[in-house]
């Protein structure tokens, strides 16, 4: 027999395009449309309904960038559609269909709309590929609705990464960007729609099968017979005959060994990205209303949505919609997942902030829905910290899901279902959907790929299929739901079943109880520039985290010691702002200019609020008098002030530079530092050991300017080829000694930087303070410290501990890890000597090895990525003035690095006019490696004191924790402050000042609750 499969496929393609798609709607009837343009930002329905509307016709332009245009749509089903009995033909349905001028860009990245009823209820959304509204047509055939059109410009859905001004309303222009095509009432033929779904399912499946297989031949033959059975001039009248031809092919069941995909409706909605937060609120409403409408249409659909923040927006701005969601949640069909406030970045949030993502998120779901989510749901974050398993488990999570690691540029991750072990040994059952997308359309190609790609065959047989338009929202469509229905059991295809995340994870765990183990971070070999982009946003986050620590500590002390009212609501609002802005396109710096300008403004507001709380709390604690106190919120004593307390400070001074022929010397009796005439550190000696930190013929504090032109994803990526071009900034405009510092001024390109190098008395930290006026584009500024230490690994602080990473390139995994993330410090060391580099706002680092110029061996090169200047999506990224600090800690143990990291990020506060001679600490810990991360009052308003601490050095430790207040009980809890099985508390001595004895394993995280 001759092979006709190629021609048959072309025939089916054309039949779908020219016959079936146009026949889904038997007829269309235009509706009357008028419009009113909101003058500024979005308005309420009441304001819009009161607007002065004008007629608008198909073909007219509408919508300035980021504007809102309201359309009033009225009309009725035409009489010609009705039979003698006044009813619509059997097997049909009337629906409103609107095309606002959709472009070829993706759904969620362009204009969208919400349909409102005349009495102000949100009905459902309109978006490309999902623009039919059944609910808009009344039982009597009348149409009377408002459409809230959002003329969001397409910032870059085609991802050519070209710079564009439209990401900022100040530069986006005012000319209309869309042209209305039609707003009709249409008569949908349900049988033709069914035939279309049947045909698409079988045609797609045939394309995935072996051309020599009998199954493919049967399907191709059936499709051709179907085309013969359907009259191209009367598709509606012959669709039933066509479906009958295809029915046997659709009825052939899947093989017993077929992979099973648990289909979960999904709409990954970025809480900000190529649109501002205010638009995300509307995107969520449009998407969630679409889902509720689809659930009415298809009883099998189950939808999962994460991010408590997005539900909170619905409760605040769309209460009617929120109550409809609540009803579906109670049914188990609208499923809150993830338990975090937002789908945050996990590399850069601090430890307590990562914990609070769960405290806030799970707390909201418990209060509003009575649901304790068991999974972590982060499909799109840019790599995952090795602290996550412990943090998630401490919040009551049992499972973890992402698919982002499938984006790796170099190495293919070896598992899709596995146990993920964190830095403290906690394990989390983890799944990567092998479909390699969180926006599946349930195409046959995706289903076949998922089955082929699944890496754990022979041990597991199930995977999760998140389907629905995402990123910019939209969610699942009726076409996707129809595809799920046809793939439930279809020969040649994996099985597809409607499911929920919980059902999937319980099934996967039961069939594969002992999967392979992956230890440590899940490093994404991509998007490494997100550790550096948008410096101001990152500084706002870092500063806010530490201000929140101070505000909670001093407010708790003021409540416990003086009876002051605890500012719970103010603190909660501040936390929610900070948590929202840790979303994985805000904190990483990969959003449009509008988003980052909003974020920076919000950080200023948070800082003012927290400074006010701190000042009021310390003033209440100190009273009025003549004493001067220094408040130390850090977990370590410094300058005579105990940790977490206030006391008179031991006087200190800076080290005055001494001029020498080669430059200047800073010598405080602990370390001796030489700065040459170029303003570079040529020597740094630990005087107790005589150990020199700077290698021969090298210099520290060296600024290096690289070309930074990523292959794609500008703000996201730093590609390794940046190293091919570098300019070392060794020329100085001016190097002078000023009081207790050496000041270095440099100019380069269109930019200027002033460095202030200083050394405090008694300190082993050389501090570099930078004032940078940055006006470069597509450049990356690094700060380099060659360290005379031979090691094959570097230690970097992460949440609640640290991680070791190779500095060599033995394997492809090591080679791909050429830019890494760290929090307040990194350290390189030999067994008896180490050097740390601490910072106040830098996350991106690269730490490598190089040959020693004399004497053999290798040295370590520690470099910090200070600032970038990408052009997409924000062409003005990081232009202007910046200030940041870095410290070189000479002769540093891990404990020194931890303490110096906190010192640089938690400046002391001076309290003048105090009556008190000291403010004693609320809690004290005996072991220096046990770090108190948070002291606060309980979330439930009981007045109990909650203390969160962790073992920071990676050692087993016994420590005693004593309180500075009376308590009636001490309980070990999870992050949500619910009693848990004691794992760290081995003894409690009650009394006026209780004391708990703790035995901690390396990096263990512990939360203690003290009942008052």
pLDDT of 453-480, one tens digit each?
A: 999 999 999 999 999 999 999 999 999 9
User: Across-strand partners of 431?
Assistant: 401, 417
For strand 741-748 and strand 132-133, is the pairing parallel, antiparallel, or unpaired? unpaired
Q: How far apart are the first and last CA of the chain?
A: 87
Residue 705 · residue 748 · CB < 8 Å: yes
> What mean pLDDT is predicted for residues 554-571?
98
Q: What residues contact residue 924 under an 8 Å CB cut-off, 6+ apart?
A: 642, 643, 644, 961, 962, 964
- Residue among 36, 599, 18, 611 nearest 277 (CA): 599
Q: What is the pLDDT of residue 248?
A: 98
Q: pLDDT at residue 653 above 90?
A: no
Q: What residues contact residue 209 under an 8 Å CB cut-off, 6+ apart?
A: 215, 216, 219, 492
Which residues of 611-680 form beta strands (DSSP E)?
A: 627-632, 645-647, 658-660, 663-667, 671-676
Residue 616 CA to residue 607 CA, distance in Å, equals 14
Residue 784 CA to residue 680 CA, distance in Å, equals 11
Which residues of 244-397 form beta strands (DSSP E)?
A: 260-266, 303-305, 334-336, 375-377
Q: How far is CA 585 from CA 270, 380, 589, 596, 716, in A?
A: 7, 10, 6, 10, 9
What residues are annotated to the active site? 380
Residue 247 CA to residue 229 CA, distance in Å, equals 13
Q: pLDDT at residue 3 above 80?
A: no
User: Across-strand partners of 727?
Assistant: 705
Which residues of 687-774 form beta strands (DSSP E)?
A: 691-692, 702-707, 726-728, 734-738, 741-748, 751-759, 765-774
Residue 994 CA to residue 962 CA, distance in Å, equals 6
Residue 873 CA to residue 161 CA, distance in Å, equals 7
How crowded is residue 446: how many other Cβ atoms within 10 Å of its Cβ? Answer: 21
Residue 745 · residue 497 · CB < 8 Å: no
Q: Residue 68 has which token pair? A: 């809102």
pLDDT in tens, 127-145: 999 999 999 999 999 999 9
Q: What is the pLDDT of residue 991?
A: 78
> What mean pLDDT is predicted for residues 207-221?
96
Residue 357 CA to residue 578 CA, distance in Å, equals 10
Q: What is the pLDDT of residue 4?
A: 80
Q: Residue 180 has which token pair? A: 């209305």
> What mean pLDDT is predicted for residues 185-197?
98
Residue 131 CA to residue 128 CA, distance in Å, equals 6
Q: Considering the chain, what percentage of its residues have pLDDT values greater than 90?
A: 97
pLDDT in tens, 40-63: 999 999 999 999 999 999 999 999
> What mean pLDDT is predicted for residues 819-836?
98
Peptide bond preceding 873 in cis form (omega within 30 of 0):
yes
- Residue among 472, 20, 1 nearest 211 (CA): 1
- pTM metric for this prediction: 0.97
Q: How far is CA 9 from CA 97, 225, 490, 640, in A?
A: 30, 13, 20, 81
Residue 708 · residue 872 · CB < 8 Å: no
Q: pLDDT at residue 2 above 80?
A: no
How crowded is residue 625: how many other Cβ atoms within 10 Å of its Cβ? Answer: 12
Return the SS3 of 97: strand
Residue 110 CA to residue 119 CA, distance in Å, equals 27
Q: pLDDT at residue 253 above 70?
A: yes
- Tokens 């500012």 belong to which residue? 567
Q: What is the pLDDT of residue 1?
A: 59
Q: Over the chain, what is the mean pLDDT?
A: 97
Q: What is the CA 96 to chain-centroid distance, rounded?
A: 36
Q: Residue 196 has which token pair? A: 């279309």
Return the SS3 of 338: coil
């Amino acid at each position: 027999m001759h092979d006709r499969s190629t021609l048959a496929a072309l025939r089916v393609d054309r039949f779908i395009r020219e016959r079936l798609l146009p026949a889904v709607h038997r007829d269309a009837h235009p509706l009357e449309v008028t419009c009113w343009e909101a003058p500024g930002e979005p308005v309420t329905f009441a304001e819009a309904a009161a607007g002065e509307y004008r007629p608008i016709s198909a073909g007219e332009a509408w919508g300035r960038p980021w504007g809102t245009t309201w359309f009033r749509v009225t009309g009725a089903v035409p009489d010609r559609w009705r039979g003698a009995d006044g009813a619509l033909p059997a097997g049909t349905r009337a629906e409103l269909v609107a095309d606002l001028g959709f472009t070829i860009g993706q759904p969620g990245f362009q204009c969208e709309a919400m349909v409102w009823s005349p009495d102000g209820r949100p009905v459902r959304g309109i978006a490309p590929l999902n623009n039919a509204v059944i609910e808009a047509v009344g039982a009597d055939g009348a149409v009377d609705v408002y459409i809230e059109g959002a003329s969001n410009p397409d910032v870059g859905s085609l991802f050519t990464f070209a710079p564009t001004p439209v990401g900022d309303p100040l530069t986006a222009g005012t000319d209309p960007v869309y042209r209305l095509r039609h707003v009709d009432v249409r008569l949908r033929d349900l049988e033709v729609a069914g035939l279309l779904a049947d045909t698409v399912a079988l045609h797609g499946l045939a394309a995935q099968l072996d051309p020599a297989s009998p199954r493919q031949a049967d399907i191709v033959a059936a499709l051709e017979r179907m085309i013969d059975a359907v009259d191209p001039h009367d598709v509606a009248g012959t669709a039933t005959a066509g479906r009958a031809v295809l029915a046997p092919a659709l009825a052939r069941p899947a093989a017993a060994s077929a992979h099973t995909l648990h289909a979960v409706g999904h709409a990954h909605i970025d809480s900000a990205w190529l649109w501002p937060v205010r638009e995300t609120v509307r995107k969520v409403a449009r998407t969630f209303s679409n889902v509720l409408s689809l659930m009415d249409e298809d009883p099998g659909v189950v939808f999962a949505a994460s991010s408590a923040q997005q539900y909170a927006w619905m409760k605040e701005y769309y209460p009617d919609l929120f109550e409809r969601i609540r009803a579906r949640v109670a049914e188990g069909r609208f499923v809150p997942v993830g338990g975090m406030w937002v789908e945050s970045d996990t590399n850069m949030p601090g430890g307590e902030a990562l914990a609070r993502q769960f405290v806030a998120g799970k707390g909201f779901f418990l209060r509003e829905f009575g649901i304790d989510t068991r999974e972590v749901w982060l499909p799109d974050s840019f790599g995952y910290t090795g602290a996550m398993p412990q943090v998630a488990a401490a919040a009551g999570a049992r499972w973890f899901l992402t698919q982002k690691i499938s984006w790796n540029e170099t190495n293919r991750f070896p598992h899709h279902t596995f146990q993920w072990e964190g830095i403290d040994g906690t394990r989390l059952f983890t799944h990567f959907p092998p479909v390699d997308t969180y926006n599946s359309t349930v195409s046959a190609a995706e289903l076949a790929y998922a089955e082929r790609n699944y890496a754990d065959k022979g041990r597991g047989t199930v995977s999760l299929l998140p389907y629905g338009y995402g990123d910019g929202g939209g969610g699942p469509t009726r076409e996707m739901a129809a595809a799920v229905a046809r793939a439930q059991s279809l020969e040649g295809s994996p099985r597809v079943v409607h499911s929920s995340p919980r059902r999937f994870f319980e099934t996967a765990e039961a069939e594969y109880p002992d999967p392979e183990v992956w230890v440590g971070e899940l490093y994404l070999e991509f998007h490494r520039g997100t550790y550096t982009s948008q410096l101001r946003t990152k500084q706002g986050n870092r500063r806010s985290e530490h201000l929140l620590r101070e505000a909670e500590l001093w407010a708790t002390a003021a409540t416990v010691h003086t009876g002051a009212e605890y500012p719970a609501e103010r603190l909660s609002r501040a936390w929610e702002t900070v948590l929202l802005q840790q979303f994985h396109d805000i904190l990483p710096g990969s959003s449009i200019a509008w988003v980052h300008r909003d974020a920076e403004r919000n950080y200023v507001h948070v800082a003012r609020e927290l400074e006010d709380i701190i000042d009021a709390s310390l003033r209440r604690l100190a009273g009025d008098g003549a004493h001067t106190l220094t408040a130390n919120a850090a977990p370590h004593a410094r300058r005579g002030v105990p940790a977490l307390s206030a006391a008179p400070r031991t006087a200190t001074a800076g080290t005055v530079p001494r001029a020498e022929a080669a430059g200047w010397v800073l010598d405080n009796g602990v370390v001796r530092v030489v700065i040459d005439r170029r303003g570079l550190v040529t020597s740094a000696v630990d005087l107790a050991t005589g150990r020199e930190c700077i290698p021969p013929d090298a210099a520290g504090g060296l600024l290096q300017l690289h070309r930074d032109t990523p292959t794609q994803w500008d703000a996201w990526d730093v590609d390794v080829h940046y190293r091919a071009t570098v300019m070392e900034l060794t020329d100085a405009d001016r190097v002078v000694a000023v009081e207790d510092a050496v000041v270095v001024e440099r100019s380069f390109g269109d930019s200027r930087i002033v460095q202030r190098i200083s050394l405090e008395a008694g300190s082993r930290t050389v501090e570099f303070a930078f004032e940078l006026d940055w006006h470069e584009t597509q450049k990356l500024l690094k700060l380099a410290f060659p360290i005379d230490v031979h090691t094959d690994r570097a230690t970097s602080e992460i949440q609640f501990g640290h991680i070791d990473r190779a500095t060599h390139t033995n394997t492809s995994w090591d080679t791909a890890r050429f830019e890494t993330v760290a929090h307040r410090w990194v350290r390189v060391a030999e067994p008896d000597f180490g050097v740390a580099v601490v910072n106040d706002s830098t996350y991106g680092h690269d730490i490598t090895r190089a040959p020693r110029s004399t004497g053999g061996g290798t040295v370590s090169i520690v470099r910090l990525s200070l600032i970038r200047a990408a052009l997409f999506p924000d062409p003005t990224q990081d232009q202007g003035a910046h200030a940041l600090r870095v410290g070189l800690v000479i002769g540093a143990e891990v404990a020194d690095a931890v303490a110096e990291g906190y010192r640089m990020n938690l400046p002391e506060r001076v309290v003048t006019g105090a009556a008190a001679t000291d403010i004693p600490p609320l809690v004290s810990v005996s072991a220096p490696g046990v770090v108190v991360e948070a002291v606060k009052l309980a979330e439930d308003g009981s007045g109990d004191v909650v203390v969160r601490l962790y073992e920071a050095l990676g050692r087993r430790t016994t420590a005693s924790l004593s309180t500075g207040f009376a308590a009636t009980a001490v309980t070990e809890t999870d992050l949500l402050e619910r009693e848990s099985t004691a794992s760290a508390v081995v003894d409690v001595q009650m009394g006026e000042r209780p004391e708990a004895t703790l035995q901690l394993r390396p990096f263990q995280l512990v939360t203690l609750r003290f009942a008052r």
